[in-house]
A and B are shown apart, each in its own frame.
Chain A
């Protein structure tokens, strides 16, 4: 089973700043089957990025994903008030899906 480790656990930033979130896999993620989700309190997760770098429908272009193999990054170019939330990475491989433990982006 591939274990995903996200860092940092918490990111304290101000609106307008750039956020860089990391997701590291214990083994190579096949075919970049890596996704990112945003979750706000009391809400279901929302798909942001799939296949490591493709934005989901309706996702603003301030969100971008990059990486391959074992190292992946979610970047939010300029934080807006609605972006403060918890972010999860998720991978698929060998008929198993796993999530990272999450990174909380909070207002500084």
Chain B
């Protein structure tokens, strides 16, 4: 059974940093691209970042480019999101998601809440 379990969320002040983790199991981790998708309270879904299966390529939304860095450790079956220079508008539930056919995401974690507030 595929499982994705996010951790690392919490309350942080504007301008601060946080690192999210996503522990995966139930599939061959190194064979799939992985992504982060966020959802602000009461709002829709927003793609954040994607990393290729090897980790050699990364892609970021313009809203986080230069501030967030996605990475992965294939030996540890873990995906990361380093978030720097956090803004109030980064407040959201952050989901990790496994890439599937035709650019879709077939498995999602339960999400971790990041709150940016003073």
Do A and B associate with each other? Answer: yes
Interface residues of A, Cβ cutoff 8 Å to B: 1, 31-35, 37, 39, 44-47, 50-52, 54, 56-57, 88, 90-93, 95-102
> A-side binding surface: helix, strand, loop or mixed?
strand
Q: Assess whether A33 is in contact with B46, with CB atoms less than 8 Å apart.
A: no
Q: A33-B102, A95-B59 are in contact. Are A100 and B44 (CB under 8 A)?
A: yes
Asked whether any CB of chain A lies closer than 8 Å to the CB of B56, the reply is no
Interface mask (B47-61 → A, CB under 8 Å = 1, otherwise 0): 100100000000101
Determine the residue in chain A with the shortest Cβ distance to B61: A96
Other 6 A-B pairs with CB < 8 A, given A39-B45, A102-B44 = A33-B104, A35-B104, A50-B100, A57-B106, A92-B102, A97-B47
Q: A47-B105, A47-B106 are in contact. Are A99 and B100 (CB under 8 A)?
A: no
Residues of A contacting B37 with CB < 8 Å?
45, 99
Among A39, A45, A91, A101: residue with most chain B CB under 10 A: A45
Asked whether any CB of chain A lies closer than 8 Å to the CB of B35, the reply is yes
A35 nearest CB across to chain B (Å)? 4
B interface residues, how many (CB within 8 angstroms):
22
Interface residues of B, Cβ cutoff 8 Å to A: 35, 37, 44-47, 50, 59, 61-62, 95, 100-106, 108-111
B23 nearest CB across to chain A (Å)? 15
Q: A47-B100, A95-B59, A97-B50 are in contact. Are A90 and B45 (CB under 8 A)?
A: yes
B98 nearest CB across to chain A (Å)? 10
Q: Assess whether A44 is in contact with B109, with CB atoms less than 8 Å apart.
A: yes
B3 nearest CB across to chain A (Å)? 12
Q: Assess whether A92 is in contact with B104, with CB atoms less than 8 Å apart.
A: yes
Residues of B contacting A51 with CB < 8 Å?
101-102, 104
Cβ contacts A to B, 23 pairs, < 8 Å: A1-B62, A33-B102, A33-B104, A34-B102, A35-B102, A37-B105, A39-B45, A44-B108, A45-B95, A47-B100, A47-B105, A50-B106, A51-B102, A51-B104, A52-B102, A54-B101, A88-B45, A90-B47, A90-B104, A96-B61, A99-B37, A99-B47, A101-B44
